Each structure stands twice: as C-alpha cells, then as structure tokens.
Structure 1
C-alpha cells in the first residue's frame, strides 16, 4: 500500500504535528547515520564516460525528472535510472514498444519516448552498459545519495514553491520525521550546483531559499507547460510526489478545473480508482487530464480516455547552464 506524501513535512512550524515529529525523530537519526556511513565508505566506479547526477535532498516532488529530460536533450545523452516500481532489475535499455510501467517503472517509460533510457538497480552496471552501447554522456536520474558511480557533475534539484507556509526542506528533519533524505548541509557539500525549479505562476524565487543554497552556484528553472491544457471543463488527477503542484499548474495555465483527485506517488490505478475518476468526469461533464508520468501507468484501454498534459523545465539562464555543462 502506497501512502500519500504528508503535507506537514513541508511546514517549518514545529507546532504542526509536534507529537508525530517527535516520535519519528529517533528513526530519522538512524536514517541519517546509515546514509552518511554508506556514502563515506563507498568506492565509486568509473563508467568510462562523464556521468551527470540529477538528484535531490528531499524524498520527492522537487521536479527532478523534467530537469533530467532537459539536460539529456541538450547533451544528446543517455539516461540512467533505477526504474522504481518496475520488475526489471537490468541493466536494460527501455523499449516503449515492448515494455510497460510494470516492467521498467513510469518515469523511465515516459522518458524513453524521446531519449535512450537504461534501467538498472545496480547503477554502476547500468552506467557501464550505457557506455558500451555508445553513450558519450550519461544523465543519472536520482542517485545523489548513491555513491556507487563516479560523478563528473552533481546537481541538486530543489522545489522553489515556498508559498502558503510551505518550505521545501520543512523544519530540516530527515525522513521519516521530515522530507529530507539527509541534512541539507551534507547534501549541498557534495553538489556542484543547485537547480531551483519554480512553478510557472511564481515570479521569482524566495530570497531566503537562495540564501540557504548560496554555498554552491544556483540555477533557476521554471516548470512550464509544453502546450495549453485541454479546453472546457476538466477533472485532473495525479499520483506524484506532490500532486497539489499539478493542480496548481493546471489552474495557473487557465484550465477550467472542475475537480481534482490526488493519489500517492507511483500509484497503480486499479479498477476502483478508475471507476471513481470516470464517475467524477461524468458528474461534471468533463474530460480527464493527468501528468505524462501518470498516463503511462494507466491501462492501455484507458489512455484514449485521458489527456496527458506535459510540462518541461525551462532554464532562465541557459548560458549559465551551458557553462556548467561545458566543464565536462
């Protein structure tokens, strides 16, 4: 059973869920210690080609995948991912004509529509397989806390949404007491730069957030739609790290949003959930719209009923990004 991302994780107000935070804090100390020890003891393998890691310091919902796609497109690179949610251990090159989300996971399947994508639970083996297949550069989706592969460049993606009391790092506590995979300072110390991903309707990043990231170069990217949302009333749904961000994006793009249904990250849409969505769409005389990542997880007979609404990461300082990548 998948659980939805707790909204209270992203509140800096320690009066929110104080008992839950307190009870989970000892477990977060264990998580922090195990992660730090694993990274310190690792001997990263050299893939033979440059590996760019696009990761984060929080548990999800930062917008990492659009950044991976944009950088891989710029460099004509192969993408390497663990394939979360898929049964294949790899190393395996994803073929959208043969594989589905149950095989390789939703994000690899989505990216493989326009990029060479490799799935491998053993990241070092996956990087070697991609290099042997002709990859000149590899973009590793996630893995900032995975020390098994030597990285030529490490980027940390940070959610730039700081409105309505939200803060991307919560009160700084590590999982499960908060959203952090490791303490912020430890994560930034291994990064070459941070990418702050802003929603389309936020004019500028929070100065306090930029100050928190100031020890490394900061690039600003904006999550923009690749096209307008469907016309007429729509019922949106999303099973991503922060489903409420997709809801806001639809509203900001001018969608006539009649209703919205959030689901846990990587949610497997079963008949009960699909029936609920069908009923809501019928109730409002609306069409269903979801993310690309959710769309590839739908049963094949349902994809014709649902419109995927793609978004992409647009860097404000493209020259700055190119300078960073040119160091490779």
Structure 2
C-alpha cells in the first residue's frame, strides 16, 4: 500500500490529529519492547534502521558498510527479515537459486555485497551467521526489534521527507517517538538534501548523537545511456518520487512516471500497460535496481526488464562523515560483542 499523503505534511492534518491517540499508544508499545537488552551472539551487531516506516536508503547504507568492513579485512554478514518473500529462514541467500518471491528483493541486492541471511527470527539468523564465520553482523532494519543486542545503531532518514508530521503510526510515519529512539541510537545518517532532513539533523545534534551525511550517487555508465533519451520511469520502492527526482537532477526528464507501492509485484496487465505506453509514446523504460531484482525470474518480469534500463545507485558519504563512521566502526570492532 502507498503511505498516506498526510503522513508527510509538515504539520498534522485533521486526519492525523484524529488518529494521534492511537499513534501514541502504538509508539508507547514499541518503546516498551525496545527496553529489552537483547541477546548477544559473540560478534558485534551493527543495526541500520529507520525511525519511520518506508524507504530512506537503508539498503545502500548496509552495502556501503559491508564494503568498508571487507576493505578493512573483516568478514561481515548481513541479516535481514526478507520482507515480501515467503522464506522464513534462517537461510543464506543464493542469488543463483533464490528469487524475490522467496527471499524478497532487498536480500538479493544485499547478497551481492556480502553473505546475506534471511530470518524472521533475528536471533536465530544471527547465530547461524556467526557460526558460519562472520566477525560482524550488519542488521538491515530491526532497530525496534529487541531480540538482538546491538553494538551500534545507525538511523537513516530521507532528507526529502524527514519524519513527516512527527506522529506515530497510524497518524504519521514514526514507529515510535523520535527522542527516545535517538536515546537508543549512536548515529543518524541524513541521506540527500532537504529542509525536513535538516530539522531531524538538528534534533540529532541536540540529542548528542553523531550526525552523518550522504547522498545516493547513480551509476555513471547507466546515466550516460539515459542522457538525451525520453523516458517512462516506473518504480515500486518506498518513495518512488525520490527516484523520479534523481532522474530530473541528472538531466533525464521523465515524460511519464508510474509509481507503485514498495515491494510491488507487477502483474501481467501492469507490465503490458507500461510496455504499450512506452511504445506508443516512443519512450525508454527506466526503473530502479531494486525493482529489477524483483522482476527477474518471472515471465512477466523478464519481459518488462528486457525492455527497461536500470539505474543502480550507491551511498556516497561526505568525507568528514566517512571518517566519523570509520572511527565508530573501529570502536565497535575493538570492543567486540
């Protein structure tokens, strides 16, 4: 489902205010769960989470961390719930064997960077990863999950929308009140630019946690293939508008856009409509890397994917933020679990 528009307004709307008592209850329950210390698994667990629901750049952040740690001769493994997949796990993701309907789309991307385990039971998944030789575990999401003891928690925020109206589900996008979440985190990563993100950054500074900054940098070769082309852009991610904004910032102006819910499974009718609209308007189809791994492996998806360009992105940290992050990683890995 799409997140309701009133979530992302700077101030609570009438609907949000009506739902705010329920949101306060949901936030309180989540905070109560988060008080658990969690169980250790013998190696440090680094959690990359969101204070809100929806995409903010967690997957590129986890991939960035995995690559940094591997460059430093560590053996990271990635732990994820596998949202959108049928597999409960624990199971190690094999991109040659698994498809998105089994393990979810994000795990297939993560598995390209480091050994990746899907597990609804986070503790069981972490234990297997440690047994398999990981010396550090990167947990994709799960900041509000109390099962595992976390050595370091990084909250990721999309600067374009921040924390929206500042209310908890279902009145707003927050999973729990922001200030208590900051008390349990060590760093805030603000991805991109925007006034909403700056507001959250100021709250992070006030809370005394490390504020990191980065941006999503598109693949240069993919950009070169898109320049000068008229495109139909489509995406089923947390915030499709961010993908469309990225294209425009690169000088690629979509003639038509199609937004779908996060983790969307494309139907035959939807694929046919996209293909027909692109052909009728002489447009090149373009989508995200996350959508591409979800399309792969199915007849409907493969047909659409063959007609589409894919725009991969990576997280690029600001130099000072990269140094600060490396210091935090060194401190955590020095302490152990």
Q: Please, what TM-score do these two structures have when normalized by structure 1?
A: 0.91
Q: Determine which of 4, 15, 19 is the counterpart of 1:24.
A: 19
Q: What does 1:167-206 correspond to in 2, within 5 Å?
A: 167-198=161-192
Partners of 1:136 and 1:303 lie apart in 2 by: 37
Q: Judge conservation of contact 1:198–1:205 (CA < 8 Å) in 2.
A: no
Offset at residue 255 of structure 1 (A): 1.3
1:220 corresponds to which residue?
213
Greater alpha carbon shift after TM alignment, 226-235 vs 277-286: 226-235
Counterparts in 2 of 1:205 and 1:172: CA distance versus 1, 3 Å: closer
Counterparts in 2 of 1:217 and 1:114: CA distance versus 1, 3 Å: closer
Q: Please, what TM-score do these two structures have when normalized by structure 2?
A: 0.89
Offset at residue 310 of structure 1 (A): 0.5
Q: What does 1:297-312 correspond to in 2, within 5 Å?
A: 297-298=294-295, 299-312=301-314
Indicate the structure with greater helix content: 2
1:11 corresponds to which residue?
9
Q: Does 1:234 align with 2:227?
A: no
Give unmatched runs, 5+ long, in structure 2: 71-75, 296-300, 333-337
Offset at residue 206 of structure 1 (A): 5.8
Q: Judge conservation of contact 2:163–2:200 (CA < 8 Å) in 1.
A: no
Offset at residue 234 of structure 1 (A): 1.3
Runs of 4 or more, structure 1, over 3 Å off, are 204-209
Deviations 1:158-214 (A, max 9, x none): 1112xxxxx411221101100100000011110011111115xx6x99654321111
1:247 corresponds to which residue?
244
Partners of 1:208 and 1:53 lie apart in 2 by: 23
What is the root-mean-square deviation of aligned Cα atoms in Å? 1.7
Offset at residue 288 of structure 1 (A): 1.0
Partners of 1:115 and 1:304 lie apart in 2 by: 27
Q: What does 1:34-53 correspond to in 2, within 5 Å?
A: 34-40=29-35, 42-53=36-47
2:298 corresponds to which residue?
none
2:202 corresponds to which residue?
211
